[in-house]
Amino acid sequence: MAMAARFICIVAVCLLGVNAAPSQKLQDEVLDEAKMDTPQLLKKHGYPVEIHEVITDDDYILTMHRVPYSPVSPLVDGTKKPPILVQHGLLSSSADWVLMGPGIGYAYILADAGYDVWLGNCRGNTYSKRHKTLDVNSDEFWDFSWHENGIHDVPAEINYILNVTGEEKLFYAGHSMGTTMFYVMCSERPEYNDKIRAMFSLAPIAYMNHMTSPFFKLFSKGEAFIAVILKLLGIKEFLPNNELMDLAGKVLCKDGAIFQKVCSDVLFLIAGYDSKELNETMLPSIIAHTPAGASVKQLLHYAQEINSGSLFDPGHFRQYDYGIFGNKAKYGQWSPPDYDLSKITAPVYLLYSENDWLAGLRDIQRLFDGLPNAHKYDVPLHSFNHLDFLWAIDANQLVYSETVKIMKDY
């Protein structure tokens, strides 16, 4: 009822013209950026960009976007810039880190601070829908969760970066699923701990028993039913970006549109409510780039995490559950094996917020307790939510500057 009442008020306000829209020039610029990909956005703002192809050990072809320096921090002969791999979350891409522009977007902040910035794109998203032999429309291509992202994609990206730069170690920053992939990698392939200077977890996701997102709660409750229906329908990719989504963002979510507040409310329903930190003018550009595609199995794996706990079970951070017989065949045991957090010895900084509806405080504390070399940083804004780590107006002051400060100690 409250949402319905708010919607009526929004319509009335918009129709009466009470809210003054930003300049037409600014709106046109945002709509123009909605058509651009990551390299084009970087070039528009005068930042250099390189496109690199990485082949995983199971033959997926990934695209990485590199920002080797910035106009603020140019290359100096004989001086190497420390590399950092920045990894997106679920349904996202490298575009997340550049959409908000210089001075606000994380990629620009890092490049300006003197780092060699590599933006990853995991298998199945907008920039990484290729394989050496598998067709993108085949069941085999989409048969992966974030477990495969962790044991194949991230190691391939790290190996490539270190080979190109000649460095022995790099920094790693991930958001949401970008953190999950890292935990999987360093627990299943612990030799990669030695290749990490420090890791920054923005909105860390491992255990999920105490997340409060209404969207993911609903999705997880029907996980088994949804899995069957999607399989019967032959749906393997979840929410790919397409022209319809792009058009909806430009028409329904632009400044002055009646439905703009509804667009922002959808984001808040998933991630936590915080209207103050969201620049609603940027919604058409955000929705044009996100969702960037994901496998159904990635979402189902998270749903299993949410459902793994009970009254007498604290819940699990573990591999994909194929059912008791499937687990016995794949793992040699009736339930999936848990990831061993004690093997993650690289320095890990957990940057979290109290209003994050996906990364619950009790789940973060449990993750912290299980990591041998972990540090915590509570974002000093109570209303900061899960997506604010990407697009908040004050993300630099509240989060990014903290990571840059810590990196100087390494």
Catalytic residue numbers read: 176, 386
Phi and psi for 55 in degrees, rounded to 5?
Answer: -105, 125
Q: H-helix or E-strand containing 84?
A: strand 83-87
* 5 contact partners, CB below 8 Å, separation of at least 6: none
Kindly list the distances between the CA atom of residue 27 and the CA atoms of 151, 245, 251, 253, in Å, as whole numbers in the listed order: 42, 18, 12, 11
The whole-angstrom separation of Cα 76 and Cα 57 is 35
User: Sign of the CA dihedral 93, 277, 200, 315?
Assistant: negative
Q: How many residues does the chain have?
A: 410
* 47 contact partners, CB below 8 Å, separation of at least 6: 67, 70, 71, 102, 107, 108, 111
The whole-angstrom separation of Cα 177 and Cα 208 is 12
* 58 contact partners, CB below 8 Å, separation of at least 6: 148, 152
Whether a cis peptide bond, with omega within 30° of 0, leads into 291 is: yes
The residue ranges of DSSP E strands in 176-244, in sequence order, are 196-202, 237-238
Residue 214's closest CA among 271, 259, 260? Answer: 271
Phi and psi for 118 in degrees, rounded to 5?
Answer: -115, 120
How many other β-carbons are positioned within 10 Å of the β-carbon of residue 276?
A: 12
* 316 contact partners, CB below 8 Å, separation of at least 6: 207, 305, 308, 309, 336, 338
